[in-house]
Amino acid sequence: MQPHKPLGTTGRRCYQASDPARFNPNRSLLFLFVPLLITLGLCGWGCSGGISPAAKILRSPGTASDANETGTNQAAPNPTTSNSAPTAPAPAVAPANAVSLLHFGNAGFGGDDTNVLQTALNYTAANGQTLEIPAGSYNINPVSFPGNANVFVDAGVTVTAQPGYGDGATMLNIHSSNVAITGAGAAVSVFHMRKAEYTSGEYRHCLDIEGLQNAIISNVTISGISCNDSGGDGLYLRQASNVTVQDSTFDNNRRQGSSITGQVNHIFYLRDHFSNTNGTAPESGLDIEPNTPGDFLQDVNIDDCYTDGNAGDGLMISAWLMNSSSQPIDVTVLRNHSTGNQRYGYVGINNDPSNAPGAILIKDSFSDQSGSYGAAGRFFAANGASLTFQNLTVTNPHVNGPDPSYGDSAAVELVRGGGGSVPLGNVHFLNTNIAANNGKSDHYFSFHDGSNIGIVTTGNNRVQFVPGTLSGATQAPPNGLVGGVATDAAN
């Protein structure tokens, strides 16, 4: 994958605004209700041991007692195994002290809202305030989120790219630290571009989180939004640390649902959806692919996500541009669901002859109805980071028939054509459950080196296939092949 072309800063406009009016008529009426609140509150505590329903309705959101009540009555967030990953779901409403976008000018009437939004972002970030985008439809050219920007996107918001984005123009740009974008939910807080316009190119990203000029930005949180219909990636991530993207959707983008291209550390993708990517290769739901040997992938965590319906792979981890001088890879994927992708459910790729060390773990995950292999190591040399699939469940792979590149139809695979110079290996399928009941898979696994260099079968960097529950392969037993030799397991 070609490197991302970052936008230059030349010509970028910085908008400033005078102090906006922040009068809120709802707050000015609160004093009328104070006696009623006290009465209701006392009655609630005295009569029922809690706050009465009427008092709950009248109380302003965002108070300390409101936060306690939310923790008691709302559904708990999905747990993850990443100790440092935040798990709180997106709030349903903006903070009580948020400043409305409409205080900065008229917006949402069908015109170009770029100036109003950029002015609001600059002002609220500089003053430590939360900017609220109220329900409505807005149209924007590219905007930049300054450091300390904190934005809440209400339910019922749709922000659309203006016509005419050139290749390399990205809609939402985060090139500074300490930025948060919080939506009311991915289905109701929507950013989208005009994909039908973008018949060429691959760099019109919807959301770009990226340090510029070799700087690494930090502390960025994206929660409860959608970023769809781009001419590149729904989310492009590079040169960043301490980034959380949770409960968000990236659908119908041209190149990837999301690309992570290196120089990243402490990354958490939690409960996100990367779906229906199509337009230009690689067309994956999620592509983790450093651009240079100097890039690094450290503490990258993909938990409870969905990579579905993509024209390429569900999840691709490609380290083919890294080498032995690169820092160790550390990528963990937990409980991922990969369904209906046209190529592989999961694929790992590395370099030849030199590779980055480290470990890639895909655990407790699912691959369902992939066009080709359910999971694969492709051109995966034994001298690099380990690629481990632990407790993987594969259902009905090869929907499109035998793999178009290699002509075989095992459910999971380690495979390479010609041109290799070092042995294949360090790919581990442990407790692999396969239900190939669609009649499209001949074996459960196959490890094949078309370069005839060899496959490592002993030592820590050997290949492994340890079966769990297996059913449906048309030529089993034997369960699989290692270098063309029939075997029921490889351990």
> Mean pLDDT per segment of 10 residues, for the chain of length 491 residues?
38 31 34 35 35 29 33 34 46 88 97 98 98 98 98 98 97 98 97 98 98 95 98 98 98 98 98 98 98 98 98 98 98 98 98 97 98 98 98 98 96 97 98 98 98 97 98 98 96 91
User: How many beta carbons lie within 10 A of that of residue 74, not counting itself?
Assistant: 11
> What is this structure's pTM?
0.83
Cis peptide before 353 (omega within 30 of 0): yes
d(CA 283, CA 302): 18
Label the pairing between strands 480-482 and 485-487.
antiparallel
So where are the chain's domains? Answer: 33-73, 89-233, 281-491
Check if the beta carbon of residue 254 is closer than 8 Å to that of residue 279.
Answer: yes
- Nearby residues of 47 by Cβ (< 8 Å), 6 or more positions away: none
d(CA 32, CA 36): 8
d(CA 233, CA 229): 9
pLDDT of residue 229: 98
At 327-378, the pLDDT tens digits run 999 999 999 999 999 999 999 999 999 999 999 999 999 999 999 999 999 9
Fold of 89-233: Pectate Lyase C-like (2.160.20)
pLDDT of residue 179: 98
d(CA 487, CA 469): 16
d(CA 72, CA 334): 28
